[in-house]
Every structure is written in C-alpha cells, then in structure tokens.
Structure 1
Amino acid sequence: MRHKIALAAALLAGTMLTAGCDQIKQVTGGSEVAVEETEFPERVFWGDTHLHTSNSVDAFGFGVRLGPEEALRFARGEEVTATTGMKAKLARPLDFLVIADHAEAMGATKALYDAPRLLIRDERMKRWYDLMHEGPAGSQQAMAELLDARGRNDLPQALTDADAAAERTQSIWKDHLKTVERYNEPGKFTAFAGFEYTLMQGGNNLHRNVIFRDGIDKVGKVAPIDPTYKNTPDEIWAYMEAYEKSTGGKVLAIPHNSNLSNGLMFELTAPGGGPMTAEYARRRARLEPVVEITQIKGDSEAHPFLSSNDEFAGFGVAGWELNNLLMQEPKKNEMFAGEYVREALKRGLLIEAQTGANPYKFGVIGSTDSHTGLATADEDNFFGKHTGNEPNALRANEAQNLGTGKGRFGWHYLAGGYAAVWAKANTRAAIWDAMARREVYATTGPRMTVRFFGGWDFKADDLKGDWVRAGYKRGVPMGGELAGKPGARPTFIVSALKDPLGANLDRVQVVKGWVDKAGKAQEKVFDVVWSDMGGKRKAAGGKVPAVGDTVNVATATYQNTIGAPTLATVWTDPEFDPKQRAFYYVRVLEIPTPSWPAYDAVRFKVKLNPDVRVKQQERAYSSAIWYTPTA
C-alpha cells in the first residue's frame, strides 16, 4: 500500500518526466559509472548535509562511538546499534549523506581517550580524560569544559599543536575518503566528501559545512582546515578557491545555525564593520549558494520580533534566542536581524540596490547536525543531538545544555531537519549542481514534495496538463531569477504534496520581501491555497482560520481527518510593482502532530513538565525566486 501511495504522490506532483534523458559518467572508486540523467529533475532526493561521527572532537567527547561507516550504513537504510545499545533504523532510507565532521581538532578527543594516562601532563587534559572514562555524564561534563575553553581561546597547548593536529587530521581524512568512496553508488545512494569549518570566536556560531562535488582522486589532494582563532570566513573561501584552481574540482559551503551567531551571520556591512563591496557580495553568493535554515538546534526562518504580523513565525526558537552557541554572550534584540533567513533575504535586496550584487541570494535546506552518527529527523524516531540525548526517560524534562544544567532543556531540541534536492539523477554531480543552482528546499523532518515555479504567463489551466514541463520551459524553478517583463505580473505555480507516511497539509503560503520606494525592506505573507478552501475555512480580515487539531497527547497520535493530501494553485502577486526588487518563497504547513517529547512520554511512561512542547505544525521552506526590475 505504501508503494502505491508513493507512486500516486510522484504522479500528482508532476515528477514523472522521462523525455530527453542523457547519460552522465561519474567516477567512483576509481572507475566510471554511467548514470541516466533526465531532461528536467524528475524527483526530489532526500538527504542530510550535516552529520557528525566519532571523528568529531565534540561528538566523541559526548560519548558517540559510531564512525563514518555506521553512519553511511544507517543512512542507506540498514539497522545499526546506537552508542547506547539500542537498535536504530530509518523507516525510509536517505538518498544522500554528507558526513561533516569538525575539521577543528579532528579525532583529538579520541586520541586523548586512547592515550596512556601516565603520559598526560596537562592537568585539565588529565581531568577530561578521567571524565570521559567515567561514562556519558562525565563525557558531557568534559565537553562542556572543553567547549567553554574553546570559546575563550584557552585550550591547552597540546590540543592546539598545529603539526600534531595536521598529521592526525590527514590520517583520519584519508581513511574517511576511502569509506565514503566505498559507500557511494551513483544512481542509488550518494556519499559526499565534506567537513565542518567551525568558525566560532566568543561562542558566536559562524560555522560552515564544506561539500565537494568530486571524488577521492581530487579531494584526496587536500585536507580539512581548522579555523583555530579566525574571525571571518575569508580563510575557508580562499581554501575553496585554491582547491578549485589546483584540481579543477568544485566545492561549496553551507552556513548553519545563523540563529546562534548573535547577529553576525548576515550582516549589512562587511565583517568588521566596513562597507560591503560588490566583490565581497559576489564572492559570498558564489561560494555559499545554500544556507541551512532548520536543524536540531532551532529554526532560523523567521522570528516574531522581526515578523510580528506573521502568526507562524518563531517555530523552534524557544531556548535558542537567549544567547550565542556557547552561552558566552547574551543576545540583544538588535542582533536578530543578522540571524534569521527571511531578514537576510531582505538585507540582500538592500545591499544589491546599493552595490549591484546580492550576498544573500541563497537557497535553503534543512539538516540534522546530529552528533550521534544517526541522521534521524522523524519525531517518532528521534535519536537526539548527542549520545547523552539519545532516547531515555529523562531527556525531555532534564537539562541537557552540554552537561551544565542551565538555560536550554532537552525538549528545545528539534527532531529535524532534512535537505530536499530537485536533481536530474542521484549522483554527486547532479545533486551538487542542484545545490549550486539553489533548486533545493528544507523541511523540519517530514518528506513533503514541494514545487515552486515563477514566470509571466502561467494560468490555472496549466495545472491540468504537464505543468512541470511548462514550469521549466516558460519560467524558472525555486532558486531562479526573473528579469522584468514590461506590462506583465509574475505568476507562480505552487504545489505541495503530503509526506506519503505523514500528516495532511494545512496551507501553503507565499512569503514576499521587497524594497519600497523609500528604500526600506518590507515583507508580507500570503495564504495562497489551503485545505477546505471552498468550505468552512474562508479567509476573513486577511486571515485563514486555524485548520483544527486532532492530536491526542496521551497516546501521541493524530488523525488525518482534517487538512488535505495535496494543495496546488497558480498565484499572481496582487501588489506587484515592476520597479521594486523582490523575492518570493513558499512555506508549507502540516496539520498539528505530536512532537518527540510526546512520543517519549508514551514510550517511557513519564509525565512531562508543563512547559514542554508536545505538538507542533511541521513545515517546509522553498528556496526563493528573485525578481529584478529591468534597467
């Protein structure tokens, strides 16, 4: 039955395109594999671009013992044993995975753990060694102290020795690439080479995940680099440009957790406060075409302080809006504008109007940032942020802030998200190229199928025919750009289909941002199609009534007796001004469903604290389509 639902979903979404197929060749394991590539992207591929294993300094320190091989086996759908001994398996395998272990101190905690205690001279390192050998609680305490020292630039010299770190990283990286090649199967499952560049001075999160398009023949010529105490991303950009020049390969970076950067991720100025130049803007947009909008440590789409008229702003911000990543600097209200994606898109329009280039013309994806080696994003199968947060009776109520017991609690972690990519084949080349052209979207976990096209002459009747082909032939997909057309208004094809194994849909919204005549950035959210649109749910005063709620918290269940399995429409911007720069993106909302703490309460028979989140409306965010006026 599930196979029939999935096939119907693909057909309704207009994804079954077969004409115009070409063959591409991808090198894997030293040999060429021919893979058929379709004329247009015929299906969406699901993956995680942000997973950590025991090679990451913090993941191992927290207690995880799963390495890259177990992580790849799990992502492909195999059952593995989690660090805490439980069996773990995805209900549906992923299509691709990026293991993004931290370049910084790669393998250092494992090396410390394995070292003879008698040879450890530094007293702090000896303490961390002892704590890690005590078990999960001790490991969490050790990592809390280690990360605090990192944020204050006060790590022991033995952990920052450049030569020793480079030698250790090179050895781990070499073995890692061999594992990635072994599990990469073009056409079936894509394993990418990548790492995390952990830029984080003072605890302000400016991390980037670096993802290579190439295989071991090119990526093996370089090694991950450690940001040590850098303050700006210039070093990693220079590294990427040097890689492309020396190997002929391709690489991109994905900023993440902008919500914990304390306003520094999406600045109006250049880093350090000087004026942003067009050269800087173009460089950033080329090297960082995608941003991670949602993950375990909160959602970065919109904040109520910035978007007070948006009733659905602020998903997943609780607990993460108090301070930066390492809780070393309190957050002020004026910082929010540099942290949330919608505001960044608006700032990009302002900068483009001034310089002619937009540094924030990016697509969006979700990913997990799991430090368990397990890429899980389903509420009923959430294996936690780190080993101490793997399924247990205490995690939803108990303080889980790196073992310090303050500020953030277990339930503040989100179970998502995932990256959705519209690609022409399941290969490194096709998926990476889709990211580079921004034809991607994010979800908070559910696998909704979302299409979004912009053009100038789409009509409602297009939905009765081959509208996907029409979208590509007569318009641009998500991530694309529309140039002005005299006398015309932009029209958009919007389609969303529920996760075949998940909840019905509440509504689809188009979020618009623009620069007004006074040179100020504005935004507006339009409800464009919703369930029971012609029935009881009639818009009044610019608002659509709530969809309802079927969640039974006591049993952690819901019913698909409300909402709709699919929503589609052709929408025209009623307030379009051809002289104003603008962007449009889609937000899709599900009906309310139980959150992972609700599933935990039933599974472990525990009573949740009153403030614990027990239900939510999961969602998807498309990449934007930009409109630029003609000169």
Structure 2
Amino acid sequence: MMSAALIVAAPAMAQFKPSMESLEGLYKGATYSPYAERHFPTQVFWGETHLHTALSPDAGLFGNTLGLDEAWRFARGEEVVSATGLPVKLARPLDFMALTDHSDMMGFATDLRAGAPAITDTEQGRGWYEAMQQGGEAAANAALDLITNFSQGTLDPKLVEAYSPGSAAYDTVWADVIDAAERYNEPGRFTAFIAYEWTSLVKGNNLHRNVILRDSARRAEQVVPMVTQPPLGSTDPLDLYQWLEDYESKTGGTALAIAHNGNLSNGLMFPVDAQYTGREIDETYVMARNKWEPLYEVTQIKGDGETHPKLSPDDPFADYETWDAGNLDLTEAKTDAMLATEYAREALKNGLMLEEKLGTNPYKFGMIGSTDSHTSLATADEDNYFGKATSAEPSATRAFHPFTETELGVFPGWSLSASGYTGVWATENTREAIFDAMARKEVYGTTGPRIGVRFFGGWDYTDDDLRSRAPAVTGYSKGVPMGGDLRPATSDAPTFMLYALRDPLGANLDRAQIVKGWMDADGTLNEKVYDVAWSGDREPDANGMVPEVGNTVDIEAANYTNTIGASELMTVWTDPEFDPAQKAFYYARVIEIPTPRWVLFDKLRLGAELPEDAVLVGQERAYTSPIWYNPS
C-alpha cells in the first residue's frame, strides 16, 4: 500500500521537466538519455555477401538442387533440407544477404539437368547431358569438362549465345533473381540485396568480384549483369568498372563491387606495375578501383586472405587457414613472388605507395568475410559446416576429398574453412542503411563468430573514455570509426579506442591487436603488429608479444571451455612510433582462444577418420576495416 507521503509527493515529481540548462555538466550529450538524439550507427548487423544456388554452373553441375527460395529462407532462419537430404538450420538467422550467382551461363545447370533443347541440340551439350543422366563418375567428369571449357573459352558458341544476357533463357533467370530478392526483402527485419558474381578467371587465376546493388527491382530490371565470355563479356576489371558506371548513369541507382579473396589469383588481384592484360597501372586504374571497390573479402571457405607467413614472418598469427599451393584450378603453381600482390595487408601497404605515385590509393578498402558456399546454405559455424559444394556436405569421408588436386599440388578437403561473415555497423536493417555502411567501410569480417568490435581513431582518446558501457558516444565525438580517415592532428600521435566483445554463443577472446602499415620517406613499406589488450595476467616478452593463451580443446568431445580468455577486451592505444610525415593505416585483429575446427565435429558425429595432417584446432578471428593517416 502506498504511503501518504508518497501520494503527496507524486504530483510534484510528475510536473518536473528538466531544462537543457539543468543538464549542463551532467551529460555531454544532447539529453539525459544516452540513447536519445543519436545519429550514428548503434547496431551491428550480420550477413553474407557471397553465396551461390543451383543457378550457378559450378554449383548445379556438382549436385546442388536448391534454388533461390531455399537460400533466402535458410538465411532468414528457416530449416531446409540440403541437396544431399540433410535437414539444416542456422543457429541464428542472418540480418542480410546478397545472393551472388555467377553471371556467366546463369541457369545453364538447371536446364542441363532438364535436357533443354538449347543444350541437347549441340554436340557438346548433348554429351554433357547424357553423362549427367548416367550419374556418378561420368557426371563428375562432365561437370569438370564443362567448367574447363568455360575457363578456356572453348564452349560451343551456340551455348554461349543461348545463355548470355539478351537471350530468353538468361533474361528469365535474371528476372527470377530480382523477384526473389524483392519477395524476401523485409525492411527492419531482413535485407535482401539484388546481386551477382562477375567471374573473371584468367587462365585459372581468380579475379572474381561480387556486384551489389543498393536498389530495388525498378532499377535492377533495366540492366542485365556483366559477363566474362565473349562476345558480350570481358575479364578485365576496368570493363566491370565501366558497367558499374553505366548502371548508375542509366538507372540513377547505386552499386559497388567486392573483390574476391585474392589468395588464388596467383598475384593478379592487386597489381602494382601492370594488369594481367599488360596495361600499366595508371591514374585511370587507381581512380576507378578506388571508386568502385570499397571492400575486400578477406576470408572465406577457400582460405584466409589477410596475410601470409612469408610476407609477415614476425607475425605469429599469420599462418591461418593458408591456401598457397597455386591458383584456383591448380594449373599454375604458386611462387613466392606472387604472394605480395594477392594478400590484404600487403595490398594496403602497396596502396600507400601507389597513392604517392599516382595521387589515388586503389587499395583503400574495408574488410569483410563471406562463405562463397555453392550449396545455397550460408553456414560459417564450425559445428554447422555444410561445405563448399554438395560433394563436401557432411559425410564420414569428406575430409579426404580434395577440393582440387593436380600434379602441381593439392587443396586437401580438410583445409576448407568454415568462414566467414560480415558485421556491418548501420542505423537500421534496410538496403539503404546497410549498403551505405558498406560504402563508407564501417564494416568488419570474421571467420564465423559474431564477435562485437568497435574501432575508432583520433588524437585525444584517454583511458577515461573506456569508463562507459557506451564507448561509441565518445568514439564518434572524438574521432572516426573503422573505414575512416584520421582528422587533422591535434596531438603528437594518434590514439585508437578498441572494444571487443565475445560472441554470446562462442569462445572467449585471447587478445586484441592493432596492425600498422606505413611508408618511410624513401618509399620503403613496413608493417608491425601490436598486442594492445589481452586476457589474464600474461606479460609481453622483449619484443612486445604476449605469450600464448593456452588451449582447453577436448579433441574427443569436439569441445572447449571458456576457463581461459576474456569475455571482453578494451583499450586506448597510442602509436609509440608515429612519424607525422609518413602515410599509414591501422586495423584491428581480434583473436579468440583455441576452438575445434569442423573436422572434429565430423569425427564426433559421423565417426569420421581424419587425415594425419588435418588441422584440428584453430583460433577464429575478426578483422576490422582500416583507419588511414595521410600527412597531406
């Protein structure tokens, strides 16, 4: 029962309305509530920017029968049945997705299975159809032969014409792609982007890009995708940039491209002297790439693309999910000379050099993660891994099935990665807000876990700024977020505020690092990795590196315990070696404690035997977009 005193006091309390003046000095924001009148992004949305359905030739030809609807339903959190008959569901729905079927020969695989006359009326197509009907090894060989002919440009011209933009078959499939994205796009709940993959494959060297449209069907249906097969297509990225320019001019829409993980490009992804075409890297190239490719896919199923141990020998975490046997189809072996122009960290450094030389940094990209799965299933969790293709869906023997194997080398089946996802800091879950965040590079990639990361750069952050559960308020007011450029200097050295929170369903955090790259006055490019926050009471060694965190993985149970590591890490770090005359970039890398890789779950659930050389344990991670410093 309420007392008389409280009854009397209630009217007076209800009449009190604090003025802005009465709040002065109590809260530095606009109102008492720290959540009112905010205009900066307050939420991280999780998504997939690289997924294929049965409409992609190299998905449908290898047994994927799941189409657009299954892919969208799965990403939104529904349970579906995989092409191999297994029920599958995400642990948590995604917030957004770009479905990126290959633009070349889109829909060909589904028509091949159906024996469409446009295919069986050609000798090449009839042979593949008959082999597909036989199934087994004959079907597999036919699929490989078809893809080889595609990559070598030796497809029957009639087949190319029948499945090129402008043909009835192709345009119908593109219309279906647009319609499906429109049906599953639900602003505020789930964002479905209209997108495709432009599949430039130069003699087996991977130069793929994913094209994402900000727009709805009204604009997307005015165009058809860019392809690579002649006579309509091209494998030159400059021609893709022209397509993007033409798209925006014609429709009034907005688009961007995301470069594919470059580790299978054999040095072609980040050229510094000349393109594979022989054209010199000039002002036209650097300006176009800077404009149209704000993001880079740093991690995915086919390995990790941040750096390589030969490029970063002083980085003990550089050798992670490394694929370095050769190009995509292993028709050309990898050489050490190729590494410097296919990994993200080296590209970021080379971008500083090219900016000095040509006035624009072509490799000023943010970093994201995606799967590149060809199963229609956007799975990136180690305990829910459905492989690159249907042949790599869960089975007791899939760890032994190589992704590619030739006399030059092998990509072992066990080496496929359960990776990755993209975290986007946006104001709301809509096409416009998420696309705009990607365009300004306020994004980061993870190898699967949904680690929360905030990374800001400025000149006067202090440890006091961490004494809040809302660090972004100070982060934005004093500096710039990931993907930004440092404001003009107000102190002797930049400061960075880094906050990381473990995935609520995942592992504790081992450490948070800041990776710096810079260019000396004489043009020498440098890098250094700083451990800036870590769990426990470990002490850095003489080189500033923190010892290993330990390992709680139970191999037999495919389990780990969060008895080591930390649930959150935060720090304000000042660059101790800053030179105001040197161009530089900084990005954060957040690393979890060791956890089981997907192969251990196969052993536990399927009784799978594992190859002796299989890696059983890994340390998953997040990579933020960089923050750049330019003296001028």
TM-score, length basis structure 2: 0.91
Superposition map of 1:403-418 within 5 A: 407-418=410-421
1:396 is aligned to 399
Is 1:210 equivalent to 2:227 in the alignment?
Answer: no
Tell me how far apart the structure 2 counterparts of residues 221 and 404 of structure 1 sit (CA, whole Å). Answer: 46
The answer to whether structure 1 residue 356 and structure 2 residue 373 are counterparts is no
Asked whether the equivalents of residues 308 and 319 of structure 2 are also in contact (C-alpha less than 8 Å), the reply is yes
Change over 3 Å in CA distance of 1:487–1:461 after alignment to 2: closer
Counterpart Cα distance in 2 of 1:257 and 1:113: 31
Q: CA deviation at 1:224?
A: 1.2
- State the AA in 1 paired with 2:557: T
Kindly provide the CA deviation profile for residues 322-343 of structure 1, in whole angstroms up to 9, marking residues without a partner as x: 1111222222111111100000
Determine which of 288, 309, 320 is the counterpart of 1:283. 288
- Map of 1:595 onto structure 2: 597
Query: Which whole-Å CA distance do the structure 2 matches of 1:136 and 1:405 have between them?
Result: 26
- Aligned equivalent of 1:424: 427
Alignment correspondent of 1:312: 317
Cross-structure match for 2:245:
241
Partner residue of 2:381 out of 356, 378, 381: 378
Q: Structure 1 residues 479, 357: closer, same or farther in 2, change over 3 A?
A: same
Post-superposition Cα deviations, 1:519-559, rounded to whole Å, max 9, x if no partner, equal 11100000000001xx2444443221100001111111111
Q: How does 1:517-528 map to 2 (within 5 A)?
A: 517-528=521-532
- Whole-angstrom CA distance in 1 between matches of 2:280 and 2:239: 19
> Aligned partner of 1:182: which letter?
R
Of 166-175 and 398-407, deviating more is 398-407
Mapping of residues 17-416 of structure 1, within 5 Å: 18-20=35-37, 39-115=39-115, 120-135=120-135, 138-161=138-161, 166-167=166-167, 168-228=169-229, 230-271=234-275, 272-317=277-322, 320-401=323-404, 407-416=410-419
Aligned length: 594
In structure 1, the partner of 2:553 is: 551
Kept in 1: contact 2:261–2:296 (CA 8 A) = no
Q: Identity of paired residues, percent?
A: 50
Distance across 2 between alignment mates of 1:403 and 1:17: 59
Give the 3 Å change call, closer, same or farther, for CA 431–581 of structure 1 in structure 2: same
Shift of 1:584: 0.2
SS in structure 2 of the partner of residue 606 of structure 1 = coil
**CA distance 1:488–1:609, change in 2 (3 Å):** same
Q: In structure 2, what residue type is equivalent to 1:494?
A: L
- Relative distance call for 1:204 and 1:243 in structure 2 (3 A) is same
Distance (whole Å) between structure 2 residues aligned to residue 554 and residue 590 of structure 1 = 21
The question of whether the paired residues in 2 share the 8 Å contact of 1:99 and 1:193 is answered with yes
CA contact (8 A) 1:483 1:628 kept: no
Matched, 1:503 2:507: yes
Deviations 1:344-369 (A, max 9, x none): 00000001111221000010100000
- How much does 1:116 deviate? 5.8
The CA distance in 1 between the partners of 2:182 and 2:405, in whole Å, is 34
**How big is the shift at 1:17?**
6.6
Q: Is the 8 A contact 1:252 1:287 kept in 2?
A: yes
Q: CA deviation at 1:431?
A: 0.3
Describe the SS at the equivalent of 1:445.
coil
CA distance change for structure 1 residues 242 and 412 in 2, over 3 Å: closer, same or farther? same
* Distance in 1 between residues matched to 2:555 and 2:124, nearest whole Å: 45
Secondary structure of 2:394 counterpart: coil
Deviation at 1:403, TM superposition (A): 11
Alpha-carbon separation, structure 2, partners of 1:339 and 1:430: 30
Q: Distance in 2 between matches of 1:108 and 1:228?
A: 14
Q: Which residue of 2 aligns with 1:613?
A: 615
> Which amino acid in the other structure matches residue 602 of structure 2?
D
RMSD: 2.0
Q: Once the 2 structures are TM-superposed, how far is the Cα of residue 155 of structure 1 from its aligned partner? A: 1.9
Structure 1, 405-414 or 335-344: larger mean CA deviation = 405-414
Question: Post-superposition shift, 1:404?
Answer: 11
Gaps of 5+ in 1: 1-15, 21-37
Match of 2:579 in 1: 577
Residue 622 of structure 1 aligns with an amino acid whose one-letter code is T
The answer on 1:439 being equivalent to 2:439 is no
1:508 maps to a residue whose letter is A
Q: Structure 2: where are the runs of 5+ without partners?
A: 1-32
Tell me how far 1:153 sits from its aligned partner: 1.9
Change over 3 Å in CA distance of 1:119–1:517 after alignment to 2: closer
SS of 2:410's equivalent?
A: coil
Match of 1:464 in 2: 467
The structural deviation recorded for 1:134 is: 3.6
Opposite residue 451 of structure 1, the aligned amino acid is R
The separation in 1 between residues aligned to 2:112 and 2:406, in whole angstroms, is 20
2:330/2:405 contact within 8 Å kept: no
CA distance in structure 2 between the partners assigned to 1:183 and 1:117 by the alignment: 32
Give the Cα separation in 1 of the matches to 2:396 and 2:539: 40
The separation in 2 between residues aligned to 1:306 and 1:314, in whole angstroms, is: 10
Shift of 1:392: 0.7
Aligned-residue offset at 1:406:
6.7
Could you tell which deviates more after superposition, 596-605 or 392-401? 392-401
Given that residues 63 and 132 in structure 1 are in contact (C-alpha distance below 8 angstroms), is that contact kept between their aligned partners in structure 2? no
Q: C-alpha separation between the residues in 1 aligned to 2:408 and 2:121? A: 29
Query: Which residue is equivalent to 1:476?
Result: 480
Letter of the structure 1 residue corresponding to residue 474 of structure 2: A
- Distance change (3 Å), C-alpha of 1:486 and 1:275: farther
Question: Which deviates further from its counterpart, 83-92 or 538-547?
Answer: 538-547
* Compared CA separation, residues 366 and 127, structure 1 to 2 (3 A): same
Q: How far is the alpha carbon of 1:269 from its aligned partner?
A: 2.4
Aligned in 2, Cα 1:539/1:239: closer, same or farther, shift over 3 Å?
same
Give the superposition deviation at 1:441: 0.3
Residue 396 of structure 1 contacts residue 597 of structure 1 at CA under 8 Å; is this kept in 2?
yes
1:35: which partner in 2?
none
1:236 Cα deviation after fit:
1.3
CA shift in 2, pair 1:112/1:521, >3 Å: same
| Paired AA for residue 329 in structure 2 | L
Q: CA deviation at 1:402?
A: 8.2
Alpha-carbon shift at residue 485 of structure 1 (Å) = 1.5
The SS at the match of 1:294 is: strand
Give the Cα separation in 2 of the matches to 1:223 and 1:217. 13
1:626 pairs with 2:628: yes
Which of the residues 449, 454, 474 maps onto 1:451?
A: 454
Shift of 1:159: 2.5
Displacement after TM superposition at 1:175 (Å): 1.5
1:34-72: CA deviations, max 9, x gaps? xxxx61111110000000001111111011111111101
Bigger Cα displacement from structure 2, 278-287 vs 502-511: 278-287
Q: 1:541 to 1:239 in 2, by over 3 A?
A: closer
C-alpha contact (below 8 Å) 1:415/1:444 kept by paired residues? yes
Could you say which structure has the larger radius of gyration?
Answer: 2
Q: Give the distance between the partners of 1:406 and 1:113, measured in 2 at CA.
A: 32
- Structure 2 distance, partners of 1:183, 1:342, is 36
Q: Could you tell me the TM-score, scaled by structure 1's length? A: 0.91
Counterpart CA distance in 2 for 1:249 and 1:200 is 28
Contact 1:454-1:476 within 8 A present in 2 as well: yes
Distance 2:524 2:116 in 1: 62
Q: Which range is displaced more, 157-166 or 192-201?
A: 157-166
Corresponding letter in the other structure for 2:288: R
Distance 1:372 1:402 in 2: 21
Whole-angstrom distance in 1 between the partners of 2:223 and 2:359: 34
Work out the CA distance in 2 between the residues paired with 1:220 and 1:436.
22
Partner secondary structure for residue 396 of structure 1:
helix
